[in-house]
Structure 1
Amino acid sequence: MNWVLVIVGGMVGAPLRYLTDRAVQSRHDTVFPWGTFAVNVVGCLILGLLTGAAVAGAASSHLQLLLGTGLCGALTTYSTFSYETLRLTEDGARLYAAANVIASVVVGLGAAFAGVSVAEALWA
């Protein structure tokens, strides 16, 4: 049963990542990978909320598998982040590459901490 939850979450997360990436990136006329940045930050926020809910006893292990492993596992993408950062560096856009790394780590961690804080406020 657990693997079905992961598969279902992944079936939602993967197309959601693709569609969100395309929608966000089409609205920006820049080489900065805004679409990947957006899905990764949203994934961090969801995982933070889920973690906070789990710690408070408000999220079951099944929900963690469905949303955490399945949905967020397919929604977020470290490999694309790495590839796009490498591509920016190779194309001479080193400032964008550095901004991508720094912003992704800082904003991603901030979103995760915010998610945990919101969950604690809701379920503590």
Structure 2
Amino acid sequence: MITVLTALAGGFGAAARFLVDTLVARHSRLSVPLGTLVVNVSSCFLLGLVTGWLVGHTPGSPLVAILGVGLLGGYSTFSTASVEGVRLIREGRPWSALVHAGGMLAGSLVASVLGLALTM
């Protein structure tokens, strides 16, 4: 049953990713893919919250797999970020690719630590 719930949560996460990415891209005037950055940073923050809360309060809970692996695994999209980085390089914008990748890495790390810190 946990496997089915994890898979369903992954589908909901992927749908949420599409909606958030589309909404951000529609309102962004930047030439870099801001939607992917927002999705991945928010995913890391939420994963920090889920991990800190569930592991700290209910260790071994199946919600860790359902929410962490399923929902947030489906929501995050680091593979798309890699493709976008390559696209920026191929367009002759290596600095944009570096800023995009570096900003996503730094933002995601800070967001996950913040999520963990808020649960302690």
User: How far apart are 1:30 and its partner, in Å?
Assistant: 2.5
How many residues end up aligned between the 2 structures? 120
Letter in 2 for 1:73: G
Deviation at 1:59, TM superposition (A): 6.3
Alignment pair present for 1:14 and 2:14: yes
Give the letter aligned to residue 5 of structure 1: L
Cα distance in structure 2, aligned partners of 1:7 and 1:13: 10
TM-score (norm 1): 0.90
8 Å contact from structure 2 (residues 8, 70) kept in 1: yes
Gaps of 5+ in 1: none
Matches within 5 A, 1:1-124: 1-58=1-58, 61-120=61-120
Identity %: 35
Aligned-pair RMSD on alpha carbons?
Answer: 1.3
Kept in 1, the 8 Å contact 2:54–2:63? The answer is no
Structure 2: gaps (5+ residues): none
The answer as to whether partners of 1:13 and 1:71 remain within 8 angstroms in 2 is yes
Moved over 6 A (4+): none
* d(CA) in 2 for partners of 1:19, 1:112: 22
